[in-house]
Every structure is written in structure tokens, then in C-alpha cells.
A and B are shown apart, each in its own frame.
Chain A
Amino acid sequence: NAGVTQTPKFQVLKTGQSMTLQCAQDMNHNSMYWYRQDPGMGLRLIYYSASEGTTDKGEVPNGYNVSRLNKREFSLRLESAAPSQTSVYFCASRPRAGNTIYFGEGSWLTVV
């Protein structure tokens, strides 16, 4: 049972570089989320996808784009990384008929 898998786990980027964080879930969940976690702040929602083919902005979408490639996969792209995007990123998913959210193990991103 893989659950929610996100890659890479660690990444260092230079300012201006682009990268994509990958996320996949094998639980047939409808909703998927990308959060960032910063010291002294709660988990903040970047983007979410209520179902395949739909995406919506969360609290802090600027500087990010997402793709809900299919029901399993939800990727997060940084087009031009900035030091302010240094953070821990969590992907999560949620079934249609339930309330529990299942998280991936996190991706530590440093932008220098």
C-alpha cells in the first residue's frame, strides 16, 4: 500500500530555475492537494483539485502551477523558483465520501 507518493524528497534549486514536484496516489481518491509548510505558519494550501480535470487556487498560489494529469497524479510546478519558495511541500489526497486527508511524506525544497 503506497498511499500518497511524492518526489523528489529533497531538492536544491537556483533562483530562476524551474522544477516539478510529482505526486501520485493509489487510493482512487477524488480530491488532491498541495500544501506548503513554513516555520511559524500552519499548512497553507497552494492549489487543490476536487476531481480529475479540475484545479483551483488555494491561499498561496502565486508562483506555482498545477496539473491534474489523471485521477492518480497531481503535479506542482515552479516556473521560476524564488528564495521565498524555500519550504516543505506536502501532497495530500481525500476520498469523495470521506473526510480524512492522507499525506505524502513531504518534499524539502531549498532555493538559493
Chain B
Amino acid sequence: ILNVEQSPQSLHVQEGDSTNFTCSFPSSNFYALHWYRWETAKSPEALFVMTLNGDEKKKGRISATLNTKEGYSYLYIKGSQPEDSATYLCAHNAGNNRKLIWGLGTSLAVNP
């Protein structure tokens, strides 16, 4: 059962726009929330792993927040660039069982 939901499914923005996506997950038995960036024909690359409610992490122009009580995480990209075009995946890890449940991803296209 797919219980990690990402929205929107796809997004087209202009270079320079800021954007954000949502990942929703079950709030019970939370252990960790992962964000990955996946370019076509390459391997998914880890962006953030977040474990604490209220966590906020940043890497360059990309940041993420976590609300474990209500079961959502936001990923923000400030000043999007064409090289940000990729699929952004989130995954939920419940109960430290070493298995992740993956969302379907948000596909971002940044037009120059």
C-alpha cells in the first residue's frame, strides 16, 4: 500500500522562480523522512534525511522542513535553475526497520 504521497506530480517553472513541493506520510511510528533528487539516467542522490519534528535542513538553494505530528515535509527551491530539473522523491522510514516506503515523486522542469 502506497502511503507516501507527493504533490504536485509535476511542475514547470521559469528560471529564477522559487518553488516548493509536499510529501505526506503516516505520522505514527515515525523514524525518518528522506528526500532524494533523481535525474533521468542517473542514480537517485540523497538530499536530506530528517528525523526530528521541526527539523529544517538546507543545502545551497534547496531546503526542507519536517512536521512529524501532522505527517508532512516541504521541499523548497529558491531561484530555480535549469540544472534543478529532476524528479524529487521522498521516502518514509517507519520504526527503524531499514525499509523505506517511497512516494511517486514530483517532476520539476525549469525553463531557461
Interface residues of A (CB under 8 A from B): 4, 31, 40-45, 48, 50, 58, 90, 94, 98-106
Q: What's the minimum C-beta distance from A38 to chain B, rounded to whole angstroms?
A: 11
Q: Across the interface, do B44 and A40 meet the contact criterion of CB distance under 8 Å?
A: no
Query: Which single member of B41, B99, B105 contacts A58 (CB below 8 Å)?
Result: B99
Query: Which single member of B2, B4, B93, B103 contacts A99 (CB below 8 Å)?
Result: B93
The CA of A92 and the CA of B104, in the complex, are separated in Å by: 18
> Chain B: which residue is nearest A6 at the CB level?
B43
> Chain B: which residue is nearest A51 at the CB level?
B98
Query: Which single member of A45, A98, A102, A105 contacts B99 (CB below 8 Å)?
Result: A45
User: How many of chain B's residues have a CB under 8 angstroms from any CB in A?
Assistant: 23
Residues of chain B within 8 A (CB-CB) of A42 are 2, 4, 89, 101-105
Given A41-B104, A42-B105, A48-B98, CB of A99 within 8 Å of CB of B32:
yes
The CA of A90 and the CA of B38, in the complex, are separated in Å by: 12
Given A42-B2, A42-B104, CB of A103 within 8 Å of CB of B44:
yes
Residues of chain B within 8 A (CB-CB) of A101 are 34, 46, 100
The CA of A4 and the CA of B49, in the complex, are separated in Å by: 19
Residues of chain A within 8 A (CB-CB) of B42 are 105
Residues of chain A within 8 A (CB-CB) of B34 are 99-101
Q: Across the interface, do B93 and A106 meet the contact criterion of CB distance under 8 Å?
A: no
